[in-house]
Amino acid sequence: MSDINKVVLAYSGGLDTSVIVRWLQDNYRCEVVTFTADIGQGEELEPARAKAQAMGVKEIFIDDLREEFVRDFVFPMFRANTIYEGEYLLGTSIARPLIAKRLIEIANQTGADAISHGATGKGNDQVRFELGAYALKPGIRVIAPWREWELSSRESLMAYCKTHDIPVDFAKAQKKSPYSMDANLLHISYEGDQLENPWLEPEEDMWRWSVSPEAAPDSATYIELEFRGGDPIAVNGEAMSPATLLEYLNKVGGANGVGRDDIVENRYVGMKSRGCYETPGGTILLKAHRAIESLTLDREVAHLKDELMPRYAVDLQRLLVVARAQDAANGY
Amino acid sequence: MLQTAIDHSQAVVNGKVRLKLYKGNVIVAGRQSDDSLFDKHIATFEEDAGAYNQADAEGFIKLNALRMRIAANRGRSPL
């Protein structure tokens, strides 16, 4: 199909990217390197190693990027009080430059000439991954199987697994939620299925991180959040690492029904899409950060920040990710 | 570039926030900071011992209104 020798794949260990491993091996006749990142998606990573090994992958990278993700990507975004289109806390967007950066680092380390990802041709994530990759390594080749292959449904992917000897836990795969989901330490998102009707309220059992406000405790929970240089450093007097702190806020927020959002947003590729999000820790963080800024920032600085913020949010949602990935790669 | 500007503004963003979480709401219950620009001697509704001279507000408003008065005298809407 082309002259690619080695490709680094952003590999979750799930159905789609498992099919991609085999598909790349068969169609590009190239060696596949897998990269699996822990950014707090709440899934075990070792099964991804076993599956990759079973498909003959020799170079397997599994990285715990949780602290780096929160410290170098999530917190800097919250310094700007970033909200996209008045609602969205950019939980998916902010994770992409970090993945792009690691893909390129691994490509350099293993001598790969291409990267690949499981983002579809309809979404923003392909744009984010690829802009980041091209900015960091202009000559890199990108293979996006969803834009090339004919496999368009879950059934066709499952059938491909059966005929191509791909190890999938079929019982688990079939029980899967009907929604297209993405999770990391900042949020979990849901798209597709019933949500494609913007009038329909999501079913209560869709939500995974938070109780409904109706089911939340009848008495309030108080927390104290300490900031230093615009970043949270302690909760209730206890110093915490960035990832630990965000995880804690997710837990206490979720237990109180905080952080649910149901929105229709404009994607960079042009379409409107409906998505539901749970961002308990981020929702608390935004409110708290604004409260400290209200006390400490000069009026004109605060107002300027508010004017810049929507632009910052749009940049982050599409292009500035490049700069973020570059900065991270440069150690800024 | 934007991030650098934003980060620069954050040097003084230090302090504590107390928050109340209740049935889906996040409500600020208190905030404090050693870098606070809030001055209760100036902001107070009580006797401020000369911290803020209310008479100064008259000139402040008059000059702010100057361009509007000029426009209004010419029969134009200033806004």
CB-closest option in B10, B17, B20 to A230: B10
Across the range B13-33, mean pLDDT stands at: 98
CA–CA dist A159, A153 (Å, integer): 10
Closest CA to A107 of A9, A181, A187: A9
Closest CA to A118 of A142, A99, A146: A146
H/E stretch holding A32: strand A31-38
Question: pLDDT tier at A330 (50, 70, 90 boundaries)?
Answer: low
Is the pLDDT at A322 greater than 90? The verdict is no
Position A43 scores a pLDDT of: 85
Position A44 scores a pLDDT of: 84
- Measured between beta carbons, which residues in chain A are less than 8 angstroms from residue B25? 258
CB contact under 8 A, A230 and B13: yes
Is the pLDDT at A191 greater than 90? The verdict is yes
Q: What is the DSSP letter of B41?
A: H
CB-closest option in A216, A252, A293 to B13: A293
Q: β-strand B15-22 against B25-32: which pairing, if any?
A: antiparallel
Position B14 scores a pLDDT of: 98
Active-site residues of A, by number, are 16, 96, 125, 180
Across the range A297-314, mean pLDDT stands at: 95
Give the contacts of A183 (CB within 8 A, at least 6 positions apart). A40, A41, A42, A189
- Measured between beta carbons, which residues in chain B are less than 8 angstroms from residue A321? none
pLDDT per residue over A249-284, tens digit each?
Answer: 999 999 999 999 999 999 988 999 999 999 999 999
Give the rounded percent of residues in chain A with a pLDDT score beyond 90. 77
Structure tokens at A138: 């202009």
CB contact under 8 A, B32 and A311: no
Question: Which residues partner with A189 through β-bridges?
Answer: A182, A277
User: What ranges make up the beta strands (E) of A82-127?
Assistant: 114-116
CB-closest option in B2, B11, B17 to A292: B17
Give the rounded percent of residues in chain B with a pLDDT score beyond 90. 91
Query: Chain B: nearest CA to A267, how far in angstroms?
Result: 22
Closest CA to A292 of A245, A332, A251, A233: A233
Kindly report whether the global pTM for this prediction surpasses the value 0.90.
yes
Query: Which B residues, 8 through 37, put their C-beta within 8 Å of a C-beta on chain A?
Result: 9-26, 28-29, 31-33, 35-37
Position A329 scores a pLDDT of: 54
- Measured between beta carbons, which residues in chain A are less than 8 angstroms from residue B15? 226-227, 292, 295-296
Give the contacts of A22 (CB within 8 A, at least 6 positions apart). A55, A160, A164, A165, A166
Cα-to-chain-centroid distance, residue B29: 19
Q: β-strand A6-10 against A114-116: which pairing, if any?
A: parallel
Is the pLDDT at A325 greater than 60? The verdict is no
- Measured between beta carbons, which residues in chain B are less than 8 angstroms from residue A224? 16-19
Is the pLDDT at A331 greater than 70? The verdict is no
CA–CA dist B15, A31 (Å, integer): 52
Give the contacts of A322 (CB within 8 A, at least 6 positions apart). A97, A131, A132, A135
Chain A residue with the nearest C-alpha to that of B26: A284
- Measured between beta carbons, which residues in chain A are less than 8 angstroms from residue B40? none
Query: Chain A: nearest CA to B60, how far in angstroms?
Result: 17
Structure tokens at A5: 């020798």
**Whether B56 contacts A265, CB under 8 Å:** no
Question: pLDDT tier at A323 (50, 70, 90 boundaries)?
Answer: low
Query: Chain B: nearest CA to A127, how far in angstroms?
Result: 21
Position A170 scores a pLDDT of: 61
CA–CA dist A186, A254 (Å, integer): 12
Average pLDDT score, chain B: 95
Radius of gyration of chain B (CA): 21
> For residue A237, what are the CA distances in angstroms to A5, A97, A300, B11, B15?
53, 32, 31, 21, 12
> For residue A211, what are the CA distances in angstroms to A54, A82, A216, A217?
39, 25, 6, 9
pLDDT per residue over A123-175, tens digit each?
Answer: 888 998 899 899 899 999 999 999 999 988 888 988 999 899 898 776 566 66
